[in-house]
């Protein structure tokens, strides 16, 4: 019986790839749980597997002390002497608990504990074995599908191929053999812990190592790789031997080596690029097959490049849906801003025009007070051209500028561009205290002082003179002159008339 039980333990150990001691420990713990549930005790119980008899014994453990404070876990020296004459302070006294009285419920509890312990030991074994093998190429067999994910058989254990790690253009059948790379090991996963991938760039690197002896022995090195699974991959290679061409070694005679990898990837395109330590030269090669005119580093800190290509090469450099420039950016590790010669020429012309074009100060705006101009200039708007190009929403973002003030600013800008003398007519001004005064009052005062200065009279006399002349004119003459003045009066005078 003992041999039969131990044989079962060894067989289970080999099947689950765990040590026999782990299974024995699980059986001992299960018997302790079953005994505690049957006896309903809080004593410190301990199980012991007897390899000779095949029996699992359960004992209650008590520690010998001088004064007992916890009878469930401690025993006095006098009582201990009765059970074991050689007992001393600090030793443990084991009291056997019968296990033949344990019923069906206790046995079921023990079974569940054993399965749980064995499962945990198996998961720990898998994690310890595979967590150091990330990036390794393995061959698996598609076993079943769980939603969008696939469960594959690795031989010793199962692995998960998530949807995000599958190639976009590939379909998989049950029983199909696949080459995958180990992506990670998820210890907290409920199902298979090992995550494998068909979309990772390291898969292409491992395939090159298998097909190209120069890469396997280290003569040629893969320095960088960028991939969009199912569509295109860019690989940068460098040679440690000046007599070995890295690109030619990877391509092989008549392309045999690279074609073997392309077949494994179901027709995915592969660009093999010579690696260069210089960023500018590397960027020119990375945008292959497009021909690059020049490359300029625009922001070294944020790793940004500006690439100029001919107009006919622009679409080729960008690629389908931006794929070529996106992969090149991943490959070199810099952000690439790609432009055609025509776009660059227009950009330079606009910059030169902006530098040489005259600017109009904001002070020419009639109807906008100095305080408002100060608020606009504080927001970085220093000329009329920039102000005219702004939207009402942008103007209202300036502190102190409301909806009514926005309307007033737009009216002033329109008056400036519609007529030259309208801009010189003040519609709004400030008093001695710096406060804005109504436009009508300012216009009336200005008109009175101007007329008085022209005739050499005082402002009061100039103001009374129109009334005297108006009483001596006939009704018809008055009406005709009023009609003529209505047709020729300026917008400022019309505004003054409406205000009065």
Identify the CA nearest to 101 among candidates 39, 28, 48, 46.
39
Give residue 150's pLDDT: 93
For residue 482, what pLDDT band results from cuts at 50, 70 and 90?
very low
Q: Judge if pTM exceeds 0.75.
A: no
pLDDT score, position 3: 62
- Does the structure show a pLDDT above 60 at 389? yes
Residue 34 has pLDDT above 90, yes or no: no
Q: What is the pLDDT of residues 85-141, one digit of tens each?
A: 887 888 888 888 887 777 777 778 778 888 888 888 888 888 888 888 888 999 999
Closest CA to 211 of 173, 255, 157: 255
Reply yes or no on whether the pLDDT at 243 is more than 80. Answer: yes
pLDDT at 358: 65
Confidence of residue 490 (pLDDT cuts 50, 70, 90): very low
Query: What are the residues whose beta carbons fall under 8 Å from the beta carbon of 101, sequence distance 6 or more?
Result: 38
């Amino acid at each position: 019986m003992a041999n039969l039980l131990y044989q079962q333990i060894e067989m289970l150990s080999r099947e689950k790839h765990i040590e026999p001691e782990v299974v024995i420990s699980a059986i001992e713990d299960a018997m302790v749980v079953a005994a505690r549930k049957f006896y309903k005790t809080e004593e410190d119980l301990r199980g012991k597997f007897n390899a000779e008899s095949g029996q699992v014994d359960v004992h209650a453990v008590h520690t010998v002390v001088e004064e007992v404070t916890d009878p469930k876990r401690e025993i006095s020296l006098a009582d201990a002497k009765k059970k074991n004459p050689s007992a001393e302070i600090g030793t443990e006294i084991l009291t056997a608990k019968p296990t033949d009285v344990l019923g069906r419920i206790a046995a079921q509890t023990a079974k569940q504990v054993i399965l749980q312990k064995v499962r945990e030991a198996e998961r720990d074994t898998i994690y310890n074995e595979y967590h150091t093998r990330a990036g390794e190429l393995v061959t698996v067999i598609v076993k079943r599908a769980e939603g969008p994910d696939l469960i594959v058989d690795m031989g010793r254990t199962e692995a998960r191929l998530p949807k995000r790690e599958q190639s976009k253009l590939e379909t998989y059948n049950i029983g199909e053999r696949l080459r995958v790379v180990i992506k990670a090991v998820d210890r907290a996963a409920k199902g298979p812990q090992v995550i494998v991938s068909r979309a990772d760039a390291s898969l292409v690197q491992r395939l090159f190592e298998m097909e190209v002896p120069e890469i396997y022995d280290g003569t040629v090195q893969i320095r960088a790789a960028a991939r969009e699974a199912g569509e295109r991959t860019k690989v940068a290679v460098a040679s440690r031997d000046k007599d070995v061409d890295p690109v030619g070694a990877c391509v092989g005679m008549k392309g045999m080596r690279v074609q073997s990898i392309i077949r494994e990837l179901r027709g995915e395109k592969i660009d093999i690029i010579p690696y260069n330590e210089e960023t500018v030269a590397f960027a020119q090669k990375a945008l292959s097959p497009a021909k690059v005119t020049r490359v300029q580093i625009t922001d070294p800190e944020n790793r940004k490049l500006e690439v100029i290509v001919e107009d006919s090469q622009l679409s080729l450099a960008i690629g389908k849906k931006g794929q070529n420039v996106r992969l090149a950016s991943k490959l070199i590790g810099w952000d690439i801003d790609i432009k055609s010669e025509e776009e660059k020429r227009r950009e330079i012309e606009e910059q030169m025009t902006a530098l040489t074009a005259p600017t109009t100060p904001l002070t020419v705006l009639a109807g906008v007070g100095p305080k408002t101009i100060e608020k606009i200039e504080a927001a970085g708007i220093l000329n009329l051209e920039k102000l005219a190009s702004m939207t009402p929403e942008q103007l209202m973002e300036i502190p102190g500028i409301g909806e009514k003030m926005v309307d007033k600013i737009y009216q002033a800008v329109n008056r400036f561009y519609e007529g030259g003398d309208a801009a010189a007519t003040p519609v709004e001004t400030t008093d001695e205290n710096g406060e804005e005064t109504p436009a009508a009052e300012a216009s009336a005062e200005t008109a009175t002082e101007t007329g008085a200065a022209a005739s050499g009279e005082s402002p009061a006399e100039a103001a009374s003179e129109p009334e005297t002349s108006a009483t001596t004119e006939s009704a018809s003459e008055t009406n005709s002159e009023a009609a003529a003045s209505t047709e020729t009066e300026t917008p400022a005078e019309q505004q003054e008339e409406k205000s009065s």
